[in-house]
Structure 1
């Protein structure tokens, strides 16, 4: 096994952070411009996380199903895939 791809490592936190921004906007600011700007970013990050997980997981369908959980799924799948990958040898 190899560590998760860079695409998944980047999209998972973006998905979570953009969801938090959207929820904060909904609760406090209620600005349509924020929702218009961050909403598509969140949607793209969500789709990228699910697709990248499906490509990385191979026969492990649990990681793909976990990635489909909106908001935190990409982060959970990233942790699951990282736990499966062996630790890389340290260079000295």
Structure 2
């Protein structure tokens, strides 16, 4: 799944770079490097999507065939979480996350321990 995420990012980024190049300066070196990069990422994304067993029961395999954004659509269909997110974690915004229930320091109740006011 990690390879698919990387291929999806490279596919989308290379497409954006190629389109910006076409509509602005049309530099030949950017086209020469970006075209094969985009094509390779596209093929890797298709191969990785078809290799994932969970994709068989969904339309993810067919979505991966859409040039440019197909891999991202396939990842979304597969329900892939962004890298670094623990399953079941609660997001509070501004980067604050609570652990999933049962994943606390004691292994029982989970949650966040807040500091208590102590008398000196």
Please classify the TM superposition score into its range, dividing by the shorter chain length.
0.7 to 0.9
**Kindly tell me: are residues 46 and 65 of structure 1, through their superposed partners in 2, closer, same or farther at Cα, counting changes over 3 Å?**
same
Aligned-partner SS, 2:59? helix
Report deviation, 1:59: 2.0
RMSD of the alignment, in Å?
Answer: 1.7
User: In the alignment, which residue of structure 1 is the partner of 2:21?
Assistant: 25
Higher strand proportion: 2
Larger-gyration structure (1/2): 2
Q: Which has the higher contact order (CA 8 A, sep 6+)?
A: 1
Report deviation, 1:61: 5.3
Aligned-partner SS, 1:29? coil
Superposition TM-score, scaled by structure 2 size:
0.64
Question: Which structure 2 segments of 5+ residues have no match?
Answer: 81-85, 89-99, 105-120
Matched length = 85
2:49 is aligned with 1:50? no
User: In the alignment, which residue of structure 1 is the partner of 2:57?
Assistant: 60
Give structure 1 regions of 4+ aligned residues with deviation exceeding 6 angstroms: none
Superposition TM-score, scaled by structure 1 size:
0.82
Report deviation, 1:12: 0.4
Question: Which structure 1 segments of 5+ residues have no match?
Answer: none
Report deviation, 1:51: 0.6
Report deviation, 1:58: 4.2
Asked if structure 1 preserves the Cα contact closer than 8 Å seen for 2:63 and 2:71, the reply is yes
